[in-house]
Amino acid sequence: MAKVLVVTSGKGGVGKTTSTAALGAALAQRKQKVVVVDFDVGLRNLDLIMGAERRVVYDLIDVVQGEAKLAQALIRDKRLDNLSLLPASQTKDKDALTADGVAKVVGELREQFDWVICDSPAGIERGATLAMRHADVAVIVTNPEVSSVRDSDRIIGLLDSKTEKAEKGERIEKKLLLTRYDPARAARAEMLKIEDVLEILSIPLLGVIPESQEVLRASNLGTPVTLASPQSAPARAYAEAARRLGGETVTMSVISDKKSLFGRFFSRRAA
């Protein structure tokens, strides 16, 4: 039974696309058939993060408008056989995305894949509501910071009212992915603590992705961080989140990059 998952946040720049790519790759590594779909028409990024920008021919809008078949638009990942990308259009008008067209495409993807992961655009406009429309599960990406938390809360409200499941009277499964978390700064009250965010949003936690240089490095390489440096802290955190999505119970902890013994001994120099 295919699952449609939307990665959403309301606020921009919190890590939706990074998380879509990382979770998609992590699920694919676990032998699931995965497609990641970029809904950010006009500002497409997922192809870059996936390193497929030079292979885009057709896109989501072409499929929605019937200009191309789904099979023509899907780009298979070079590293993982069972991971595909359906890119967004960078040039076409975002109004070309219609509710009926999206329903048809998502329906077709459901038949071919185990996981359909939709990368939502920022905002609460049509693009975002269309991306979440058919989702079974929503991953709400949030930074430990008040404006991000409030925007996530807004999105949760929309998930409970504007999705197909909500309109049928069912509840969409919502999970929190806290990204760019720095335990040391949270301890110094420079950012919100995990408990604070959970208390405000009151949805279950899918995972905590630590702030790390590795994420930016992987982006620039065009490789999901779970593939670029699988042993790094963010990659392990995403891999654990993917296992939780698969239904496994994994103990929750904030993963950090272990410093070497010397690094810890000589971390600060006395004046």
Partner 1 sequence: MNAVAAAVRPRSSLRFRGRSFLALVLAPEPPLGDWLGEIDNLAQRSPGFFSSRPVILDLANLPVDRGSLGALIADLSARDVRIMGVEGVDPSILGPGMPPIVSGGRQTGNLDLIDTAPRAVQPVGGKKVQGQPVPIVPPRGAAPAQAPAQAQQQPTSLLLQNPVRSGQSVIFPQGDVTVLGSVASGAEVIAGGSVHVYGALRGRAIAGSVGNAQARIFCLRNEAELIAIDGLYQTAENMPAQYRGKPIQAWLQGDAILMAELH
> Which residues, numbered 201-230, are part of the site for partner 1 (CB under 8 A)?
202
Q: Is 77 in the site for partner 1 (CB under 8 A)?
A: no
> Which residues, numbered 86-145, are part of the site for partner 1 (CB under 8 A)?
124
Assigned token pair, 61 = 């809008």
Q: Which is nearer to partner 1, 48 or 158 (CB)?
A: 158
**Half-sphere exposure at residue 207, Cβ-oriented, CA atoms within 13 angstroms:** 26
Assigned token pair, 148 = 């991000």
Minimum CB–partner distance for residue 9 and partner 1 (Å) = 13
Q: Which is nearer to partner 1, 146 or 216 (CB)?
A: 146
Q: In angstroms, what CA-CA distances link 106 with 69, 101, 109, 263?
A: 13, 9, 5, 49
Of the residues 4, 83, 135, 156, which one makes contact with partner 1 according to CB under 8 A: 156
Q: Is 239 in the site for partner 1 (CB under 8 A)?
A: no
- Are 197 and 177 contacting, i.e. CB atoms less than 8 angstroms apart? no
* Residue whose C-alpha is closest to residue 142's, from 199, 88, 188, 87: 199
Sheet holding 83-86, edge to edge: 75-76, 83-86, 34-38, 115-119, 3-8, 137-142, 173-181, 205-210
Q: In angstroms, what CA-CA distances link 49 with 54, 79, 123?
A: 12, 13, 20
Q: Which is nearer to partner 1, 136 or 151 (CB)?
A: 151
Phi, psi of 177 (to 5 degrees): -115, 110
Q: Is 79 in the site for partner 1 (CB under 8 A)?
A: no
Of the residues 199, 204, 220, 259, which one makes contact with partner 1 according to CB under 8 A: 199
Minimum CB–partner distance for residue 153 and partner 1 (Å) = 4
Minimum CB–partner distance for residue 117 and partner 1 (Å) = 24
* Residue whose C-alpha is closest to residue 153's, from 103, 183, 188, 192: 192
Q: Is 154 in the site for partner 1 (CB under 8 A)?
A: yes
Q: Which is nearer to partner 1, 46 or 124 (CB)?
A: 124
Choices 43-51, 114-122, 194-202, 260-268; region in contact with partner 1 by CB under 8 A = 194-202
- Are 177 and 142 contacting, i.e. CB atoms less than 8 angstroms apart? yes
Minimum CB–partner distance for residue 135 and partner 1 (Å) = 17
Total residues interacting with partner 1, rule: CB under 8 A: 13
Choices 45-53, 112-120, 150-158, 259-267; region in contact with partner 1 by CB under 8 A = 150-158
Residue type, 167: E
Phi, psi of 39 (to 5 degrees): -95, 0
Q: Is 160 in the site for partner 1 (CB under 8 A)?
A: yes
Minimum CB–partner distance for residue 166 and partner 1 (Å) = 11
Site residues for partner 1 per CB under 8 A: 124, 146, 150-151, 153-154, 156-158, 160, 199-200, 202
